[in-house]
């Protein structure tokens, strides 16, 4: 079964940067939107950023101006550049891909920001 595979998480000091990447392990046809969600302990999973095939983006208010989502549509790959990281950005980050028929999720990558 095709899965989304994330990479790029890790430990960083506050003010630092990380870049997350996500690509499918096989072919997925019909993706119209890819994005990133995150879940901190005790919290619900929340949208961080998403990007459609046409380039429309949506960001959580808490990351606007600090995070940038980008895509390689031909490779069905999505990236999240995270700058000026804060301790409250600490969470497991999940990649997400949507077609008209189903939603795909990655297994998550841990991002920890130390103060």
- Virtual torsion, Cα 5, 6, 10, 15, nearest 10 deg: 180
pLDDT at residue number 73: 85
Q: Is the pLDDT of residue 1 over 90?
A: no
> For strand 109-114 and strand 10-13, is the pairing parallel, antiparallel, or unpaired?
parallel
Confidence class of residue 67 from pLDDT cuts 50, 70 and 90?
very high
Which of 13-17, 70-74, 92-96 is predicted with the least confidence, judged by mean pLDDT? 70-74
Confidence class of residue 74 from pLDDT cuts 50, 70 and 90?
confident
Give 4's contacts (C-beta < 8 A, 6+ positions apart): 22, 23, 24, 25, 95, 96, 97, 104, 105, 106
pLDDT at residue number 82: 98
Region 15-30 average pLDDT: 95
State how far the Cα of 5 lies from the Cα of 77, in Å rounded to an integer.
Answer: 10
CA 27, 23, 25, 52 torsion: positive or negative?
Answer: negative
Q: Are the beta carbons of 7 and 109 closer than 8 angstroms?
A: yes
Confidence class of residue 62 from pLDDT cuts 50, 70 and 90?
very high
Q: Is the pLDDT of residue 93 over 90?
A: yes
């Amino acid at each position: 079964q095709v899965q989304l595979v994330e990479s790029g998480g890790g430990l960083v000091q506050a003010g630092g940067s990380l870049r997350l990447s996500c690509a499918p392990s096989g072919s997925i046809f019909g993706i119209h939107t890819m994005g990133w969600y995150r879940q901190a302990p005790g919290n619900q999973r929340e949208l961080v950023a998403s990007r459609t095939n046409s380039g429309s983006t949506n960001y959580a208010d808490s990351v606007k101006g600090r995070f940038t989502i980008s895509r390689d549509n031909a490779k069905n790959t999505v990236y999240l550049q995270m700058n000026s990281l804060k301790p409250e950005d600490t969470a497991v980050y999940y990649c997400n891909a949507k077609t008209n028929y189903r939603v795909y999720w990655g297994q998550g990558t841990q991002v920890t920001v130390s103060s």
